[in-house]
């Protein structure tokens, strides 16, 4: 058939000259952002799986059909300028780096994210899961929103494993860091949504910039201090490390940095990026998993029976060997990430001409991969909306219609870390408690991630 140009693309209703669809984003509110975003994604699906949404004059093309998503993930490596808004904090760390820089640093970082390193983290994952279980048990309420406890636990874990910062020893500093990190994203998203502030000139004189700069200064101070201290420790002592022994990521990266010529600043940017990438991602996924299992007691029982089969009726730590045997639990986590991909969409920019359906896109076009709808595409079958961990028995381990950890080469570096830590947390929690909840009451919101907004209460019953 005849190829058409971008101008012929169906466009989302409500387009206005000059500003395009930006006015739809006005009135910043996380819940609204998710509502608008979901409407755009759903409309794109209705319009045949490819549709434009205009940020001013520049089009974002939404795609959610498996073949189109494949093309975009293969041919569009460059990140969108909206990532630049996080650069004052994360600099050229993996997440925000331009492709040329990323190619070099990702190779170095891959050398740190090894199975040995993860095995060394098992003790931290286990003690953090024990801690969480105790907190749930000590909570005076049997029915409560677990989200804050999960989020704090998640941040503690990433601080321990990445920079060996122990929140129990530095309670005040940790609390300051926790508040700063929860503020920074709200501030960055505000800049994006108050689109006039995207202009560096206007932004320069705004109150938002003053606020943001202060928070970033705090965040940088903390990571700089911790890194410098650690560097001194490493250099002052003989560093004998046994295999499988815990070593924070930073040690490995500091070592590699000498070999590979990373500056102190680069080390800081990578550590800040790791902490950002891992600070509440597993917490959100765990909240969704508890909601799903709490609303389906039959499947929860199946998980429980598996845990008992593998670990017996003890409260011992989860060992490396156990992880491989907790196969149904793994399916539960995958299915949770299918229905609730915490990163529901990824913007990417093409570096060459690209043909999608009947349209020809020039280099420099922006696509938004809509993972939320991809995960509900008809290829998943008529029960795509249902929580069915069993479906994974018949699927490839990572089918191409499944992208909870991102697209193309710039996928999540923390995927194995996340799977391991979530498995361990759930094994500890689910053998101690029976969870009930009502997922039909769950509402969602979005800032940098997809999060529960309300209705995410759970009720715990201690298992005998």
State the Cα–Cα distance between residues 280 and 294, nearest whole angstrom.
21
Nearer to ligand HEM, 55 or 343 (CB): 343
Nearer to ligand HEM, 288 or 359 (CB): 288
Nearer to ligand HEM, 135 or 411 (CB): 411
Record the tokens describing residue 438, joined without a space: 């009502």
Q: Which run of H or E residues covers position 265?
A: helix 264-278
- Let me know if 210 is exposed, middle or buried by CB neighbors in 10 A (0-12, 13-18, 19+): exposed
Q: Say if CB 59 and CB 76 are below 8 A apart.
A: no
Q: How far is the CB of 14 from ligand HEM (least distance, A)?
A: 27
Query: In this structure, what DSSP letter does residue 16 have?
Result: B
Q: Which residue is nearest to ligand HEM (CB)?
A: 414
Q: How far is the CB of 369 from ligand HEM (least distance, A)?
A: 8
Record the tokens describing residue 459, joined without a space: 């009720």
Q: How far is the CB of 28 from ligand HEM (least distance, A)?
A: 21
How many C-beta neighbours within 10 Å does residue 320 have?
12
Binding site for ligand HEM (CB under 6 A): 94-95, 106, 273-274, 277-278, 281-282, 285, 337, 342-343, 346, 404-406, 410, 412-414, 417-418
The residue assigned the tokens 């209703």 is 13
How many C-beta neighbours within 10 Å does residue 142 have?
12
Q: How far is the CB of 83 from ligand HEM (least distance, A)?
A: 7
Helices (H), 340-445: 371-374, 415-432
Q: Say if CB 337 and CB 404 are below 8 A apart.
A: yes
Q: Which run of H or E residues covers position 88?
A: helix 87-90
Record the tokens describing residue 24, joined without a space: 């739809």
Q: How far is the CB of 90 from ligand HEM (least distance, A)?
A: 9
Would you say 412 is a known binding-site residue? yes
Nearer to ligand HEM, 220 or 279 (CB): 279
State the Cα–Cα distance between residues 37 and 31, nearest whole angstrom.
10
Nearer to ligand HEM, 11 or 448 (CB): 448
User: Can you tell me whether residue 319 is helix, strand or coil?
Assistant: coil
Nearer to ligand HEM, 108 or 274 (CB): 274
State the Cα–Cα distance between residues 283 and 340, nearest whole angstrom.
12
Q: How far is the CB of 281 from ligand HEM (least distance, A)?
A: 4
Helices (H), 340-385: 371-374
Nearer to ligand HEM, 220 or 410 (CB): 410
Record the tokens describing residue 45, joined without a space: 């699906």
Q: How far is the CB of 249 from ligand HEM (least distance, A)?
A: 8
Residues of the binding site: 412
Residues of the binding site for heme: 412
């Amino acid at each position: 058939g005849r190829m058409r140009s971008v101008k012929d693309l169906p466009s989302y209703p409500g387009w206005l000259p000059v500003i395009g669809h930006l006015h739809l984003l006005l009135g910043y509110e996380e819940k609204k952002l998710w509502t608008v975003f979901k409407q755009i994604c759903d409309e794109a699906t209705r319009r045949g799986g490819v549709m434009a949404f205009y940020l001013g004059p520049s089009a974002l093309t939404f795609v959610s059909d498996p073949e189109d998503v494949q093309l975009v993930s293969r041919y569009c490596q460059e990140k969108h300028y909206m990532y630049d808004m996080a650069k004052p904090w994360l600099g050229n760390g993996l997440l925000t780096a331009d492709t040329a820089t990323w190619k070099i640093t990702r190779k170095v970082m891959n050398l740190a994210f090894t199975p040995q390193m993860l095995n060394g983290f098992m003790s931290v994952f286990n003690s953090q899961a024990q801690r969480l279980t105790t907190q749930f048990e000590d909570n005076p309420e049997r029915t409560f929103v677990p989200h804050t406890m999960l989020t704090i636990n998640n941040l503690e874990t990433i601080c321990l494993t990445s920079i060996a910062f122990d929140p129990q020893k530095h309670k005040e500093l940790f609390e300051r860091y926790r508040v700063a990190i929860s503020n920074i994203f709200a501030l960055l998203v505000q800049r994006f949504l108050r689109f006039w502030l995207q202009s560096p000139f206007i932004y320069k004189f705004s109150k938002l910039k003053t606020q943001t700069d202060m928070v970033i200064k705090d965040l940088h101070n903390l990571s700089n201090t911790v890194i410098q201290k650690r560097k001194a420790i490493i250099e002052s002592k003989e560093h004998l490390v046994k295999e499988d022994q815990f070593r924070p990521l930073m040690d490995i990266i500091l070592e590699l940095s000498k070999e590979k010529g990373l500056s102190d600043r680069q080390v800081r940017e990578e550590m800040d990026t790791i902490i950002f990438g891992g600070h509440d991602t597993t917490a959100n996924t765990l909240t969704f998993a508890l909601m799903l299992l709490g609303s389906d007691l039959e499947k929860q029982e199946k998980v429980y029976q598996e845990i008992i089969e593998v670990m017996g009726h003890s409260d011992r730590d989860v060992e490396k060997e156990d992880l491989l045997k907790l196969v149904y639990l793994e399916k539960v986590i995958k299915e949770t990430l299918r229905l609730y991909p915490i990163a529901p969409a990824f913007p990417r920019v093409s570096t060459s001409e690209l043909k999608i359906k009947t349209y020809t896109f020039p280099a420099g076009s922006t696509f938004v991969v809509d993972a939320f709808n991809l995960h509900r595409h008809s290829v998943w079958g008529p029960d795509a909306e249902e929580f069915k961990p069993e479906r994974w028995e018949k699927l490839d381990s990572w089918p191409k219609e499944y992208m909870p950890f991102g697209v193309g080469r710039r996928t999540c570096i923390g995927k194995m870390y996340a799977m391991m830590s979530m498995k361990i947390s759930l094994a500890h929690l689910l053998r101690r408690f029976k969870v009930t909840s009502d997922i039909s009451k769950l509402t969602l919101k979005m800032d940098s991630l997809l999060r529960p907004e309300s209705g995410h209460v759970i009720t715990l019953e201690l298992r005998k």
